[in-house]
Amino acid sequence: MRWLLLKDIQVLRRSPMQATLLILYPIVIALLVGFAISRDAGLPRVAFLNEVPKDTRVDLGGEKFDSLDARARLCKRVECVDVSSREEAIAKVKSGDVLGALILPSDLAQRVNSLASLNPTRPQVEVIVNQEDPVKARLVNDRISTLLSEANLVIARRVAKNGGEYLTLIRDGGELSFLGQSFNVLGLKSSATILESVRKSVPAGAQRGAIDQVIQFARLATENLDLASPLLETIAQPIEVKKQVVNEATPTLDSFAIAVTATVTLMFVTLLLVAGSLALEREENAFGRLTRGLVSRSALLIEKIGLGIVVGFAVTLLMLAGLQLFVSLEWSRFLLWMVAIVFGAAGFAAAGAALGAATREVRAASLLAFMVALPVVFLSLIPSGAVGPGLYHVIEFVTALFPFKPTLRAITAALDSSGPSLVGPLLHLLALITAYALLARLALRRFSVV
Amino acid sequence: MLEGTSTTQNALVVHGLVKHYGDVAALDGMSFRAEAGELLAVIGPNGGGKSTLLSILAGVIRPDEGEFEVHSGEVGWVPQHAALYRRLTVEENLRLFARLEGHGNPEAVVSRMLDLAGLRERRGEMVLKLSGGNQQRINIAIGLLAEPAVLLLDEPSVGLDPRQRARLWEFVLKLAGEGTTVIFATHDIQEAEQYGRRMLVIADGQKLFNGTPEELRQSVATQAPDVAGRDFESVFVDYLAMRGY
């Protein structure tokens, strides 16, 4: 078997164009995919739970609206999926039916109303998200930020108007209602008038009452300025977001981008090489000569998968070493990288062997490999909630049949300690390796030329 | 007793080979024998079962029924299209297959085969740069690596010019002279007559004739008296017509 391996490496070395394409093409594809995944995903689905009592109205600066108005405004930006409980919202987020969940608590209207008072309580909304990958995490954060910025802007305008009224009261004076009691605020203008008259016509020590009035105004003015502080805070960010993430740890965007690039590279190198190499055995008419007693079909298959693992591993490692010049990689996790890349390479090699054995021609094998791989890559990068739940489940099923997604998860986990678990993707890949190797072995039964 | 039997030792005995592809019988009860050092030509219409027969004898495909026995030694197979790695050199191809054959000293075997094929001077050239004739010589040399008692050649001279063809047959005759049984399938009837000591005519998976070229000519002469002055190819066409092909 080692002689066959040596032969294949010799053949590859003498095909510089093929070798160049094997390296350049995956890089180009990786860049394209990178751009594609950074694009907007359209109108996302968001679970919406409104716990605010129906008859509660929000009154901000004289403008009144109810919770239905709030829903209508929010649902312009996203596709709202109404849920009846917090548990239902969490379940939908976990399953990927929705991109996230927005929960308006029962005291939201009361707290928003308080913003226009002298005793404001900051309103809070709850957001539940499933940041299964950093691209989705960014998408979710962008969407939620946009939604809340719009709501905050509306509230901020109302609160600012109230703040302006308080400042007018301090300047001009007037009646102030606070905690059910009414106060007469003198105002800066009146204070000035009083002081002027006191200074001109009254000798020192007299008119104590007028001086008392000035002292009282000073106290009230101080209190009003104290109230301005929380008021100004609420103008900046009236609604506070309480975010809850329901999935496991999410890797950094850098790690994820590197993992995508590495997986795409590994996939194209291994898939094309193994599919082409196996089909070439038939095109060179060597398959019959080899398998009539020199090498068994199973041994030939193992050799091709081994070739894919060796070359795929080397190219991917070379690419990671190149990336090290620009980004920092955790080389202390090298053993985990090796495991992830070897399993991924074996998965792609087995799939390539199945394609090569099924098509039996190098050109057909290469074409089929592209036709299968490219859509699978794009489908695998669609985050849950970005499309309808039915379609997403179909996408999940389809992508689970190909080694790209589990390899991406395995390499992500291996690259970043904050990434997902490595065990699940490796088991998934093991199942795919077995299945594709069996398919390839079956296809080799009709591989001979007569 | 099977046809082709003689007092010399049988190198190959084939009995009742059957092979179906779907409903089509590629071989339907094929039986014959071949002697050591004999040159047996397998001829017949296209799709008659020649390549299937050779592929079964080579162990590339399995028969549905029947069996064959090689008296001693290996069976060497030279497929119709050169089974070579075109991006490897002549020497690398020979070395690869010598290693796969399990030769203890592959370099010695490679050296011998380079001499046998007359390609020592071109051993470092990639196969894709060689002519069809030279590729076929390497193809045959690889078939001989196992030092087979029986050598199967499937359309060995297809695509070769007359000079290359002559050199090829010189090479094959030398092998037969050394005791190798050579069974070759061909569409070239003149070639079959010239080099085949015996002929096996196959059509629709069945054996129509097994004997010398002269015996075939005599068989046709019984119904067409003018056969004596005609070339062997037209005699063969008449024979097939007489048998309904």
Residue A440 has pLDDT above 50, yes or no: yes
Q: What is the largest CA-CA distance in chain A?
A: 129
- How large is the average pLDDT for residues B57-86? 89
Q: What pLDDT does residue B127 have?
A: 94
> How does strand A45-50 pair with strand A79-82?
parallel
Residue A394 has pLDDT above 90, yes or no: no
- How large is the average pLDDT for residues A177-205? 71
Average pLDDT, chain B: 88
In angstroms, the CA A441 to CA A297 distance is 7
Task: Kindly report, residue by residue over B210-236, the tens digit of the pLDDT.
Answer: 999 999 988 888 877 776 678 888 889
Residue A160 has pLDDT above 90, yes or no: no
Which is more confidently placed, B80 or A300?
A300
In angstroms, the CA A238 to CA A310 distance is 58
Q: What pLDDT does residue B126 have?
A: 94
Is residue A9 less than 8 Å (CB to CB) from chain B? no
Is residue A291 less than 8 Å (CB to CB) from chain B? yes
Contact criterion met (CB < 8 Å) for B51 and A7: no
- How large is the average pLDDT for residues B12-38? 92
Q: What pLDDT does residue B2 have?
A: 45
Phi, psi (degrees; rounded to nearest 5) at B153: -120, 120
Q: Within its chain, how far is the Cα of A79 from the centroid?
A: 17
How far CA A318 is from CA of A8, A219, A310, A314, A434, in Å, comes to: 20, 73, 12, 6, 27
pTM of the predicted model as reported, rounded to 2 decimal places: 0.69
Q: Which of A6, A8, A278, A292 should we substitute to test contact with B (largest number of B Cβ atoms within 10 Å)?
A: A292
C-alpha triplet B127, A441, A394: angle, nearest 5°: 115
Question: Across the interface, which of A15, A284, A288 has its CB nearest the CB of B84?
Answer: A284
If interface means Cβ-Cβ distance under 8 Å, which residues of chain B face chain A?
51-52, 55, 58-61, 77, 79, 81-88, 92, 96-97, 99-101, 126, 142
Residue B87: list chain A partners with CB under 8 A.
Answer: 10-11, 14-15
Is the ipTM here above 0.90? Answer: no
Residue A408 has pLDDT above 90, yes or no: yes
Q: What pLDDT does residue B1 have?
A: 40
- How large is the average pLDDT for residues B45-70? 91
Q: What pLDDT does residue A450 have?
A: 44
